[in-house]
Structure 1
């Protein structure tokens, strides 16, 4: 049974989205703040991570930057997995504000991530998110201990609702 260390990315520079009026997946291109970088350096000192064999990362810059810092500090290789990307709030790739993101996230939460009977939504369902992240987890189940750098909603969906996951925190998850 593989032990995965799910490490949420450090604090991102969300304000860049508003400054550059980014839309859709462009909003996922922001790097970490200086505080976010420091958060990850502190996380790299977590003794549990010292035994990991590999880092697997989401393709988004905030997760990649987190993985790069951990890689440097722990002397581990990084593999990027496209399906570790964060929950997709708008499959049309048109949302363009924090307010719209909150609106979509609230609708997801109110419906427990499940489309109401006979309806569709523009957000990715919980089932879809859990399936794609679970497939990545399964792919690395031949290792003993693996670090996964990724995102709050993706991790919450994988392990069950546990509320907000702090930036640069470590959650232990065992594959079955």
Structure 2
């Protein structure tokens, strides 16, 4: 199955910052006007005309990107919980601010395949990211030849090995990869 991984458009955290949202509350941030335009331009890419289904992360920035793409690519859309971004705290209870997220991410980049036993935040490892996303794709592989997946930069990194992605960048992979 061909999968077009698409990073969400440029996010806007203004409202969630003004509401003092932290942790998972930050994931309610939508797109900037530029992010909406990026998604609209992405929808015009010829490779997306092959897509039979769009899968999307449940995070608002990904779903807002999906809405813009789905307006042009008339196929079903399914929200998949496990297409979310890397988790700095798998419990969802220990991290209270962006400084702690940054600390977890720094440690994750040092030791992506294991968590030190004494590290205070149980971040998701690279192997765990790959396993959860590949489990989603496995449910669709027998039914589709080509899908799009709107997700996040770190997810895309773990599936492709590419270090960074622009907003609304498309990267094709073959599943199983």
Q: Deviations over 1:1-44 (max 9, x none)?
A: x1000011000112334322212111101111100000001111
How much has 1:100 moved relative to structure 2? Answer: 2.5
Counterpart residue number, 1:3: 2
Counterpart residue number, 2:84: 85
The Cα RMSD (Å) is 1.5
How much has 1:105 moved relative to structure 2? Answer: 0.8
Counterpart residue number, 1:70: 69
What TM-score does the superposition give when structure 1 sets the normalisation length? 0.91
Greater shift after overlay, 44-53 or 121-130?
A: 121-130
Query: Aligned ranges for residues 132-143 of structure 1 at < 5 Å?
Result: 132-142=132-142, 143=144
Going from structure 1 to structure 2, the CA distance change for 1:77 and 1:131 (only over 3 Å counts) comes to: same
SS of corresponding position for 1:21: coil
Q: Structure 2: where are the runs of 5+ without partners?
A: none
Aligned partners of 1:5 and 1:172 also within 8 Å: yes
Indicate whether 1:146 and 2:147 are aligned.
Answer: yes
Alignment partners' CA distance in 2, 1:155 and 1:102? 19
How much has 1:119 moved relative to structure 2? Answer: 4.4
SS of corresponding position for 1:149: strand
Aligned partners of 2:12 and 2:30 also within 8 Å: yes
What TM-score does the superposition give when structure 2 sets the normalisation length? 0.91
Aligned partners of 1:21 and 1:96 also within 8 Å: no
Aligned partners of 1:137 and 1:175 also within 8 Å: yes
Q: How many residues align?
A: 173
How much has 1:92 moved relative to structure 2? Answer: 3.6
Aligned partners of 1:44 and 1:70 also within 8 Å: yes
Counterpart residue number, 1:24: 23
